[in-house]
Structure 1
Amino acid sequence: MNVSKQDIEKFIRFQRNEITESIVYERLASIEKDENNRKILHQIAVEEKSHYEILKKYTGKDVIPDRKRVARFYFLAQILGITFTIKLMESSEKNAHHNYDKYTNIPDLQRLARDEEVHEQKLISLINEERLEYMGSVVLGLNDALVEFTGALAGFTLALSDHRLIALTGSITGIAAALSMASSEYLSTKSEGDVKKRPVKAAVYTGIAYLITVAALVAPFMLINNVILALGVMLTMALIIIALFNYYYSVARGESFRKRFTEMAVLSFSVAGISFLIGYALKTFTGIEA
């Protein structure tokens, strides 16, 4: 079958992508502890390698994989988990599916399009990772910390007016709230009887998520003397945490980033704004100066 020079150049790019991802999946399989997950990853690697060989029939060339991309995804898998990494990598495969689908006159590429659209997604859906089972607990800890704590610190800013006092009060409040949330999650998980989730682990995930958020939000008041500036930095930190977490969550769960980010940001900042006004009102009407 005659293939144009322009198509050959595109096929070479497709080849590089397929061999790169084949190596990535093999690397991921090497660090996966679960035997079933390891088999799934190996299967995907074999599938990607077969795609590479099919494309090679048309290009007649061996293509070097993108080593930087391999290293990047391997690093992400070790830090953020295999499921997140695969979902992130596969989001680019949707483009590959559409690219292959254009070649209606080449049966081999039509088969690759079907593989990219169906086969790999089915394999990925089988992957079960512990950190995603406890995602609900992390969401609970982060949501509560961001909504309640941005509000509390905003209220403390005008009510107390001293950065060290705000940091101290915020730390005490945050630690107490984290312990309370962890305890509530333990009791909630235990009462639900979810066999996949252990109450103690669920409580730990919730508590740690809350404490990390508290530490990030209190830090500006420890480091900056100007309380209004510290408040601004704290709100910026909250926005960054919301963005990072919702990006991770949207990729891992295949949900809309924009919708989740907007909802969480609006809720957190609305509570912070109301609390700031309450702190100002209380300080004005009571006449108490910290």
Structure 2
Amino acid sequence: MANEILEKAREFCEQEYEDSMLYAYIASKEKDENRRKILEAIAKDEEGHYKFWKKLYGKDCKTESINSKMLFFLFLRKLFGITFTLKYLENKEKKAIESYKKMLSELKGEDAQVLMKIIQDEEIHEKTEIQSLDEKVVRYMSFIILGLADAIVEINGVHAGFLGVTESTIVTGIAGMVVGVSAAISMASAAYLQAKHEAGKSPRTSALMTGLAYISAVSVLALPYFLIRKMLTAFLVSISIAILMIASFTYYGSTLQEKDFKREFIESTLLMLGTAFVTYFFGDLLGTAFGIRGIL
């Protein structure tokens, strides 16, 4: 067998070994019986894939880094949920599927048939088995992201507007909190009404998720104005936090929904910065027109 094919077989063998161990480990920590069965089924498939590549390679290919990777994926599971963790893992396997398809032409007979079955297994994992996981946070993710995104854009707009009116960081922070609480109630109410028309979603949970996400974002973004006395510095710190928050929830959402992270992140960031730019000049205009600029 050509050296190039052997090298690829070794690479795929290592990857499938790690995947089988990771799925089995995550399954062993899963309390929900239905999810555990799904994970155990995927782990069994991945073990079969590993044995195929091991046979093709001609020797074992177990990796030493698997223990640290197990801990990493357990951390992801605890922090972000089972669906995100598996989507994150499957993103790596999508690249492997493309490589497997290219290698089909290099194999013949039974080996080619087995590889075709492996490709089908990997696609089923993504399209059916992982999609069938019923996780509460995923069902309500749209409400959480809505609350975070709206809060970041709106409250930074409020802060930017007051940057054009006053030099008081305390006044700006309080204004952001007052507007934020009012907007959170409004957003939660809208989420409640929206969820009443969506099957499988609790209006109360939807409202709670949206409201809590909104209030959390508002509190974090207002905090610099209560800790820092220089207006511009507080504003820049708050904007920086907002960008980090956008990056976090955009990456989470794009991973779950299989969207382009870079595009989603740039669009959200530009919307937030554009809103801040417009409201700053509007606040400056009002402050000058009413003669209150610098008084507060």
TM-score by length of structure 1 reads: 0.91
Q: Which runs of 5+ in 2 are unaligned?
A: none
Matched, 1:128 2:134: yes
Indicate conservation of the 8 Å contact 1:174/1:211, yes or no.
yes
Kept in 1, the 8 Å contact 2:157–2:279? The answer is: yes
- How many angstroms apart in 1 are the aligned matches of 2:17 and 2:189? 48
Aligned AA for 1:84? Answer: F
Q: Structure 1 CA distance, aligned partners of 2:157 and 2:194? A: 25
Matched, 1:229 2:227: no
State the distance in 1 between where 2:147 and 2:52 align.
48
Partner of 2:24: 26
TM-score (norm 2): 0.89
Question: Any idea what the Cα deviations from partners look like across 1:186-208, whole Å, max 9, x if unmatched?
Answer: 23323x1x341111111111011
Change (3 A) 1:188 1:118: closer
Deviations 1:63-95 (A, max 9, x none): 324222222122111100111111111111122
Compute the RMSD of aligned alpha carbons.
1.9
Q: Secondary structure, in 3 states, of the residue corresponding to 2:106?
A: coil
In structure 1, list runs of 5 or more residues that go unmatched.
none
C-alpha separation between the residues in 2 aligned to 1:117 and 1:197? 28
Q: Does 1:287 align with 2:284?
A: no
- Superposition map of 1:1-290 within 5 A: 3-65=1-63, 66-103=66-103, 104-106=105-107, 107=112, 108-190=114-196, 192=197, 194-288=198-292, 289-290=295-296
Change over 3 Å in CA distance of 1:56–1:269 after alignment to 2: same
Alpha-carbon distance between aligned partners in 1 of 2:267 and 2:244, rounded to the nearest angstrom:
14
The residue identity in structure 2 corresponding to 1:189 is A
CA contact (8 A) 1:246 1:257 kept: yes
What do the CA deviations read for 1:136-179 (whole angstroms, capped 9, x no partner)?
21122112201211111111222221112212222222223223
Question: Does the CA-based 8 Å contact 1:21-1:70 persist in structure 2?
Answer: no
Question: What SS does structure 1 have at the residue aligned with 2:164?
Answer: helix
CA displacement at 1:39 relative to structure 2: 1.6
How many residues are treated as equivalent by the alignment? 286
Deviations 1:203-237 (A, max 9, x none): 11101111121122112212222111211121121
Alignment partners' CA distance in 2, 1:250 and 1:9 = 33
- Is the Cα contact below 8 Å between 2:158 and 2:175 reproduced in 1? no
Return the alpha-carbon distance in structure 2 between the equivalents of residues 111 and 185 of structure 1: 44
SS of residue paired to 1:201: helix
2:69 maps to amino acid: R
Partner Cα separation in structure 1 for residue 200 and residue 279 of structure 2: 38
Tell me if the contact between 1:164 and 1:222 (Cα under 8 Å) persists in the aligned partners.
yes
Bigger mean CA offset, 199-208 vs 33-42: 33-42
Question: For residues 136 and 243 of structure 1, what CA distance do their matches in structure 2 show?
Answer: 16
